[in-house]
Amino acid sequence: MLTKFENSVIGINDMMIALGQKIIAANEVILEGLVSGDYSRYKDAKSSLDNVSHLANSIDNKIVTTLALFSPEASDLKNMVAYLKVTNEYVRAVSNTKSFLKNFPIKNDGELHLEKIMPNVILLQKATLESLRFAVSMINEDDKSTMKDLCVKANVEETKTDDIYSMIEKNLFIEMLNANELSKEYFETLSLIRKIEKIGDRAAGIANLLYDGNKID
């Protein structure tokens, strides 16, 4: 029979995974829109994340209550403290996701020529999404070797986002130089694409926290 502490941890894990899956689902919508050119689902995807701060606070409160009630051993304490940091990474990932969903594509009176960069934007979002998936899948993983493998994969995908974003940035700067009248719109587009890269950063941060604090002695 599981102890009350173990049952509480299972409940926290379930909440952590559910919240992570909400972020993944919204980023899947982003990818679908980028691939198809149909952004009609972006508004609903953004709305699906409106309660994330409340959910993150609920997780934090449950963690704090669990710590107060059960005074866990050092390894379990480290695990719970890492979770408090992970929820903060979740909230930051959601902020960037919602910003992209709300503002992409940039509204403009002229025509932005994004055809050359869109394949790389799609690759950027694919890498970000994979990093998120690897990170969230670590939450219920007990095998240390598997945990390490997932963490490495999450970080590899995040490294890809850095490289791909650099290529996008270079190509968009060229477009900006050739279209002075739309430079503001191009810059805003680049800032939004940067949000995707930042989501990848958050995913790697989640993976590293789980690896360092949650499961590894």
Residue environment code for 86-98, b if the CB has 16+ CB neighbours within 10 A, otherwise e: bbebbbbbbbbbb
Domain span including residue 183: 4-215
Q: How confident is the model at residue 132, as a pLDDT?
A: 98
pLDDT tens-digit profile of 101-111?
A: 999 998 765 56
What per-residue confidence (pLDDT) applies to 110?
A: 55
With beta carbons less than 8 A apart as the criterion, state whether 98 and 91 touch: no
Query: What's the pLDDT score for residue 101?
Result: 98
Q: Flag residues of the chain having pLDDT under 70.
A: 108-111, 214-217
3-state secondary structure labels for all residues of 44-79: HHHHCCCCHHHHHHHHHHHHHHHHHHHCCCHHHHHH
Q: Write down the pLDDT at residue 216.
A: 44
CATH code, 139:
1.20.58.220
Instruction: Report pLDDT for 109.
Output: 55
pLDDT tens-digit readout, 45-61: 999 999 999 999 999 99
Which of 176, 28, 183 has the alpha carbon at shortest distance from 116?
176
Radius of gyration of the chain (CA): 19
CA distances from 192 to 74, 91, 134 (A): 41, 17, 24
- How many domains are contained in the chain? 1
Q: What is the pLDDT, as a whole number, of residue 61?
A: 97
Structure tokens at 87: 């929820």
